[in-house]
Structure 1
Amino acid sequence: MAIKVAIFLLASFILVTTRVSSDLEEALAQAAPVAGHPGVAPAHAPAQAPPPHKIVDTKECFGVCKGRCSLHSRPNLCGRACMTCCSVCKCVPAGTAGNRETCGTCYTDWQTHGNRTNKCP
């Protein structure tokens, strides 16, 4: 009798693990489509950065920098750095964070007095 129970438990365990692994394989197949397969879009297409705000007159910097630094933890500090970068580089990246590379090397390579490369927000 004990042998029958052991065989039943072993068979049940094998059945359950087989079903779980096949569900996992189906989920992975749906999440990661074949890259070269036509008609199938990649799961996570890289998002393109919005275009930066090109500045013609330095008077435009105030409004653009105010929007850029609106969510910053220290908006006054961010605004001062942004105004400096805007007046020299004539560009402010779109959005409240990131996208720094859209303004070019003037914006991305400018260093602080401590030689840190993140002067411009």
Structure 2
Amino acid sequence: MKVVIITFLLVSFLLSSSFEPTAAGSSFCDSKCGARCAKAAVQDRCLKYCGICCEKCKCVPSGTYGNKHECPCYRDLKNAKGKPKCP
């Protein structure tokens, strides 16, 4: 019985600690990507890929288009076809 309780507590601790940084990072990315994708024709797709790039690079270029020189990681991410991944 003690093993079950200890395992449960350990798993609970690991799960709770793994969600905290993501929540803090996603509010940054949500606000930056919201501004970046404000004028996008397909906003849901723009927000999805911007969010992926933001989480990976920890930055999003200013404005709604261009300015990718501000964030080289964001600029240099490519999709499977070799085209820019980030909007």
Normalization by structure 1: what TM-score? 0.50
Unmatched tracts of structure 1, length 5 or more: 1-55
Runs of 4+ in structure 1 deviating by more than 6 angstroms, as ranges, are none
1:13-92 to structure 2, matched below 5 A, reads 57-92=25-60
Q: Higher helix share goes to which structure? A: 2
1:108 maps to which residue?
75
> How far did residue 63 of structure 1 move?
1.3
Report whether the alignment pairs 1:119 with 2:82.
no
Q: CA shift at 1:67, angstroms? A: 1.1
Structure 2 unpaired stretches of 5+: 1-23
Could you tell me how far apart the structure 1 residues matched to 2:75 and 2:31 are? 21
Contact 1:69 1:75 in 2 (8 A): yes
- Highest relative contact order (Cα 8 Å, sep 6+), 1 or 2? 2
CA distance in 1: counterparts of 2:31 and 2:70, whole angstroms:
19
Aligned length: 64
Provide the rounded CA distance (Å) in 1 between the counterparts of 2:33 and 2:86.
11
Query: C-alpha separation between the residues in 2 aligned to 1:84 and 1:72?
Result: 16
Do 1:72 and 1:78's aligned partners in 2 also have CA atoms closer than 8 Å?
Answer: yes
Q: Which amino acid aligns with 1:82?
A: C
> How far is the alpha carbon of 1:57 from its aligned partner?
2.7
Question: TM-score under structure 2 normalisation?
Answer: 0.68
